Homo-oligomer: A and B are copies of this chain.
Amino acid sequence: MDSFSRIDSLVKSWMHVARSEIMQNFEKEIKVWTKSGRNDLVTSIDRAVENYYVKQIQENFPSAKVIGEESYQKEIDYKTSGMVWIIDPIDGTMNFVKQQDHFASMIGIYQDGIGMRGYIYDVMQNDLFWGGPEIGVFCNEDRLQKPPDRNLRNGLVEISMPFLVHNYRSLQRVALESSGVRIYGSAGIQFIHVLQGKCAAYLSYLRPWDFAAGKILAQALNLQVNTIDGCTLDMLSSSDVLVATKNAQKDIQCLVAPAR
Contacts and interface: CB of A to CB of B under 8 A. Distances in A.
A259 interface: no
A250 interface: no
B181 A98 contact: no
B156 A165 contact: no
A175 interface: yes
A185 B164 contact: no
Interface in A179-209: 179-185, 193, 196, 198-199
Contacts of A98: 155-156, 179, 198-199
Interface residues of A, number: 28
B179 A94 contact: yes
Interface string A161-181: 100110000001001100111
A176 B39 CA distance: 10
A99 B39 contact: no
A229 interface: no
A228 to B, nearest CB: 18
A182 B98 CA distance: 12
A182 B92 CA distance: 12
Interface string A110-138: 00000000000000000000000000000
Interface of A: 38-39, 94-95, 98-101, 153, 155-156, 161, 164-165, 172, 175-176, 179-185, 193, 196, 198-199
